[in-house]
Amino acid sequence: MAYRILSNSFPADGRQPDPEEFRAGFFGYFAYCLLPVGMVCFFWTAVSDPTMHSSWDTRGLGASVVLLVCAIVWVMSMRLAIDREGVRYRNFLRGARSIRYTEISSAVVWNFRSTELDDVAGTGRGLRLWALILTPSVETGKPPLKIPLTFFGTAAHDRMIELLKPQDWYPQSD
């Protein structure tokens, strides 16, 4: 797979960005909390049935509740902020990372849409998974800023596309 990256000026077309902050949307909560909620339901059922009760049921319920709380805190901590100077992304483990518009050498949206599954199903539709990758110029010494746009919903996705006009990369099967 050969890709070429075009260096542009950012924000695109000399646009002046309006300050905005985005929080994780419904899909972010759904993706991170589905498994812990399922575990809580499973262990709650096991604990509430007296014929199936064992010492592992209460431990499993406690662990799944802790996992659910951690997932909710993780998703609640996700922020994407646009201001006049640049873009900031924050999550619970990595903290806040930012990149100024003048430091961006390339902007790419990596589209993880599974086109093979769409072809098999014949629907032409599928789950859209996007990651925005902002690569700073080499002189800054910063690593690329990877933002999982899928978890922020369509408003954040559309705003970043409008503002940065990144290239769209799709996975290619050989």
Edge to edge, the sheet with strand 79-82 lists 20-23, 79-82, 86-91, 95-100
Band of pLDDT at residue 21, cut at 50, 70 and 90: very high
Residue ranges covered by each domain of the chain: 12-23+84-169, 30-75
Q: What is the per-residue pLDDT across 88-97, written as a single tens digit (0 to 9) for each? A: 999 888 889 9
Q: What is the per-residue pLDDT across 36-53, written as a single tens digit (0 to 9) for each? A: 999 999 999 888 887 776
Could you tell me where the DSSP H helices lie in the chain?
26-48, 55-77, 115-121, 153-164
Buried b (16+ CB within 10 A) or exposed e, 104-123: bbbbbbbeeeeeeeeeeeee
User: Which residues are paired to 148 by β-bridges?
Assistant: none
Mean pLDDT of 12-32: 84
pLDDT attached to residue 67: 96
Mean pLDDT of 102-130: 65
Mean pLDDT of 69-77: 94
For residues 32 and 71, the answer to whether their CB atoms sit within 8 Å is yes
* Cα 138–Cα 85–Cα 16 angle in degrees, nearest 5: 115
One-letter amino acid of 140:
T
The 3-state DSSP class for residue 11 equals coil
Distances (CA, A) of 82 to 88, 89, 100, 142: 7, 9, 10, 19
Q: Which is higher by pLDDT, 46 or 11?
A: 46
Percent of residues, the chain, with pLDDT higher than 70: 76
pLDDT attached to residue 75: 93
Query: Of 1, 14, 3, 5, which Cα lies nearest the Cα of 136?
Result: 5
Beta strand 130-136 with 86-91 is: unpaired
The two tokens of residue 169 are: 């990369």
